[in-house]
Structure 1
Amino acid sequence: MAVSRIAPIAALLVVLAAPALAQEPTVELQPADPGSAVVEELLVVARPPGPALWLVEKNGAKLYVLGSAAPLPHQLKWDSPRLNRALDQAGLVLLPPEASVGPMQITKFMLTGGGGVRQGFGKKLEDRLPPDLKARFINARTQARRTAIPYKDWKPAVAGFLVLSDFRQAAGLSEAKPVSTIERMAKAKGVKVKAMSQYRLGPVLGAAGKLSDEANLACLKDALDEVDYEAPRWRTLGQDWADGDIAAVRARYSASAAQRCLLRAPGGAGLLDDQIGQSAKALSEALARPGVTVAVVDLAFLLPRNGVLDRLRAQGATVTSPN
C-alpha cells in the first residue's frame, strides 16, 4: 500500500479518529441548530469583497480567522483585500491540523490487512453491496474515471470517501484549497506558516475499522450523496464561499458527507467537539502572544453553536468583522 493512497484515507476519515470528551458540551449539527451566535450576529453586516473573515481581539493581540470550505474548483477566482491587509500585518499564519504518516504506521497497516477497513479475503466490494448502492457506486466511479479495481478491497465507508475524492480530482475540484492558496500567499509575503497540530494515522484507521456493517453502508451513501450534489455544480461550487455568503455556505456545507458519517459513529458529536476545542485552544494561545496572527479554520468548526468563535468570545475575546 503506497503512502499516497493511505494519506487520502487519513484525511477523509480523520473525523473518526478520537474518543469523545465528556467535559465540554457537545456541538449540534442538526437542521434545527441555531448555529454560532457570533456568526449569526455578523450575517446582518454588509459583506465586503472576498471570503468571510473575522477579527478576534484580546489584550491587544489580533487574530484574523478565515473560514475554509473545501473542495473548491481549481480555477475559482477570488480576491480578498481584507485578507491581503491582514497578511501584510501578520507574523504567523496558522493552518488546519495535518496528518502524520510514519513508516511504522504504514508497516502495521499492511501487516494487519488494512487495519479492519479492508474486505475479507476473496470478498469484493461491489459484489457485497445492495443493488441500489452498487448502481450508484458504479455511476460515481464512472464519473471519477475509475474501474472497480482501486476500491474492490475496501469496506464501503472507505471506498465511498475514496471515490468521492477521486470524483473531485476528475472534476477539477481541489480538497487542498483554499488552504494551499493562503499558504502560498503567506509565503510570498515572507510570513511564517505552521499547522495548528498534527494527528496520527493509526487511530483514524483503527476507528474506521470498528464501524458496523450498517454504518459502513450509511457512510457510503453519505459519500455518494455528496458526489450527486457536486456533480452538476462543480463549475460553480464554492462561489458562495468566495463571495462571503455564509448563509449559502451553511446550506451546502454544514452537513457534509464526513459530518454525517461522523454523527453516525459512536461518540461522533463528542469527537467533533474535541476537534473544535483543539482549534479553539490553538487560537487562544495565539491571542496570548502580542502581534497579529492569521488562522484558517474549517467552517464546520465555526458555523455550529459553541463553535470556535463562540468559545473565543466566551474566553473574553472580542469578535467582529474587519473592514
Structure 2
Amino acid sequence: MRLSFYGMVWLSLWVWSGAAGAQEVSGSESAPSPTADGVIDMEAVVVAGVQPGPGLWKVRNGDHLLYILGTQSPLPKNITWRSDEVDQVLQLADEVLASPGITVDADVGFFRGLTLLPSALKASKNPDGQKLQDVLPADLYARWSVLKQRYARRGGGIEKKRPVIAAYQLYTEALSDSGLREGGVIDPVIDSVLKQRKMKRTPTLLKLKLEDPREALTDFRKETLKPEDLVCFSRTLDVIERDLPQVAARANAWAVGDWSSLRSGARQDWQQACATAWFNTETARKRGISGVEARMQARWMEVVEGALQKNRITFATLPVWQLVKPDGYLAALQAKGYEVEAPE
C-alpha cells in the first residue's frame, strides 16, 4: 500500500519545503510594532468574498501549450475562488497535472499498515516522555510559552510533541486566528471541473521506496534533538511573532491577482530550515533519502515534458515560489528551450 506518514512521520510533514505550496514572506514590507508580549498584532485585513486569483503562466512547445496556475498557501479563510480563465482552460485541457510532492511506497498490507499507527503517533512525541520544557533552551521555551498562551491555550498535548511538529501545529493555530488557512480553496474548484469531465489529475509525485516502515519508525523514535530542530523551531516562532501581517498581505495578493506583489517577495528560509531538520536525520540517511527537492523537480520535469510533447493543452499547478525563483521549475523549462510567458 502507499503509506503516508502515519507510516513515516518525518516524510509526511514535508510541509516546510513547499511541496504543498509554502507561503512566501516579503522582507521588503515594513513591519508593525510588537505588543508588550513581543508578538506583533495582525494589521493586514484579509479579503473575503469571490476573488479571481492570479493569471496563468504559459509554456509553449510549438503549438502545444502548458498553462500553470501559481498556488499560494495560506489563503484567506473566507474567499471563494472563481477564475474564468482557469475554468476555460480546464474545460479544454487534454491532461491536468497534480502539484509536485512526495509519496512513500511501503510493502505492507492495509491491516498491517493500521498496526503501524500507534508507532507513528509515538514517533511524533519527544523520546522518554520529555516535554518541550525539558528539551528546549530556556529563552526559546519562554518565547514558545507566550505564543502558546496566545494561540493554543487548550493544546496541552502539544507540550509532548517534538519541537518541529509542535511549531508547525502552533503556526497553523496562529494562521486560523489571523483569518487564514492552508488548503480548501483551490483544489475543490479544480476537482469540481474534473469530476464533470470524468477526468483525474496525472500525479507528478516523487515516489520513495521504504522497505522497513516499522524499523524506520523505531529508529526515528530514538532520535534526539538536533541543532537543525532548534533552528526550525526558532524561525517558525519568528514568523508567528513578526511576520503574520506579511503572510496575510501575500495571501491577499494571490486572492486579488496582484502578480507584482507575489513576484516581488522572496521565499523565506524558515521552510527550508525545517525541511533540513526533517531530512538531516540518521533515519533518513540510513535509507538513502537525500536531495529530495531536486529529485521532486526532476520528476515533475519528466512528466511535464511528456505532456508538452503529446497534448495540445495541459494544465498544471505549482507553488508561486517555485515559479518565480531564479533556479525554479520555470527556469528549468526555459533552459531546455521552452518559451515561457508570464501572466499579464
TM-score, length-scaled by structure 2: 0.68
* 1:183-202 equivalence runs, <5 A: 183-187=190-194, 189-190=196-197, 192-194=199-201, 195-197=203-205, 199=207
For 1:66, the equivalent position in structure 2 comes to 69
* Residue equivalent to 1:92: 95
Q: Which runs of 4+ in 1 moved over 6 A?
A: 201-209
Whole-Å Cα distance in 2 between the matches of residues 92 and 139 of structure 1? 48
Task: Give runs of aligned pairs for residues 98-177 of structure 1, distance below 5 A.
Answer: 99=103, 104=112, 107-108=115-116, 110-111=118-119, 114-115=122-123, 117-177=124-184
Aligned length: 289
| Alignment partner, residue 249 of structure 1 | 262
Residue 315 (structure 1) aligns with = 336
CA distance in 2, matches of 1:122, 1:275: 35
- The question of 1:272 aligning with 2:330 is answered no
Distance 1:299 1:235 in 2: 15
User: For residues 233 and 89 of structure 1, what CA distance do their matches in structure 2 show?
Assistant: 36
Instruction: Look up the equivalent residue of 1:280 and give its one-letter code.
Output: M
- 1:91–1:293: 8 Å Cα contact kept in structure 2? yes
Q: Equivalents in 2 of 1:132, 1:197: separation in Å? A: 40
8 Å contact kept, 1:65–1:296: yes
Cα separation, partners in 2 of 1:227 and 1:279, compared to 1, 3 Å: farther
Q: Which runs of 5+ in 1 are unaligned?
A: 17-30, 32-48
Whole-angstrom CA distance in 2 between matches of 1:209 and 1:58: 50
Q: Name the counterpart of 1:221.
A: 234
Shift of 1:153: 2.4
Higher mean displacement: 200-209 or 159-168: 200-209
Aligned residue identity for 1:248: S
Q: Is this contact kept in 1: 2:5–2:120, CA < 8 A?
A: no
* Bigger shift: residues 198-207 or 245-254: 198-207
Q: Would you say the 8 A contact 2:4–2:103 is kept in 1?
A: no
- Please list, as runs of the form range in 1=range in 2, the aligned pairs for 1:280-299 lying within 5 A after superposition: 280-299=301-320
Deviations 1:172-198 (A, max 9, x none): 422114442442453365262323226
Q: Structure 2 vs 1, CA of residues 316 and 299 (structure 1 numbering), >3 Å: closer, same or farther?
A: same
- In the TM superposition, residue 74 of structure 1 has moved relative to its aligned partner by 1.9
Q: Distance in 2 between matches of 1:14 and 1:207?
A: 18
RMSD (Å), alpha carbons: 3.9
- State how far apart, in whole Å, the 2-side matches of 1:156 and 1:311 are: 35
State the AA in 1 paired with 2:187.
S
Query: Which piece of structure 1 moves more, 59-68 or 182-191?
Result: 182-191
- CA distance 1:58–1:211, change in 2 (3 Å): farther
What residue identity is the alignment partner of 2:180? Answer: L
CA contact (8 A) 1:219 1:257 kept: yes
Alpha-carbon separation, structure 1, partners of 2:12 and 2:94: 28
Corresponding letter in the other structure for 1:154: K
Change (3 A) 1:235 1:272: closer
Q: Name the CA distance, whole Å, in 2 between partners of 1:13 and 1:211.
A: 19
Shift of 1:79: 4.1
* Counterpart in the other structure of 2:321: 300
CA contact (8 A) 1:263 1:269 kept: no
Q: CA deviation at 1:240?
A: 1.4
- Give the equivalent residue in structure 2 for 1:83: 86
> Contact 1:69/1:253 (CA < 8 Å) preserved in 2?
no
Q: For 1:147-191, what per-residue CA distance to the aligned partner results, in whole angstroms no more than 9, with x for missing partners?
A: 352222222112212221233345442211444244245336526
Looking at structure 2, the residues matched to 4 and 137 of structure 1 have their Cα atoms a distance apart, in angstroms, of: 29
Q: Relative CO higher for 1 or 2, CA cutoff 8 Å, sep ≥ 6? A: 1
Q: 1:43 — aligned with what?
A: none
Q: Would the aligned equivalents of 1:254 and 1:303 in 2 still touch at CA under 8 Å?
A: no
Report the 3-state secondary structure (helix = DSSP H, G, I; strand = E; otherwise coil) of the residue aligned with 2:228: helix
Q: Does 1:54 pair with 2:64?
A: no
1:24: which partner in 2? Answer: none
Given that 2:127 and 2:221 are in contact with CA atoms closer than 8 Å, whether structure 1 keeps it comes out as no
Task: Tell me, in whole angstroms, the C-alpha distance in 1 between the residues paired with 2:332 and 2:98.
Answer: 19
Does the CA contact (< 8 Å) of 2:58 and 2:65 recur in 1?
yes
Which stretch has the larger CA shift, 103-112 or 146-155?
103-112
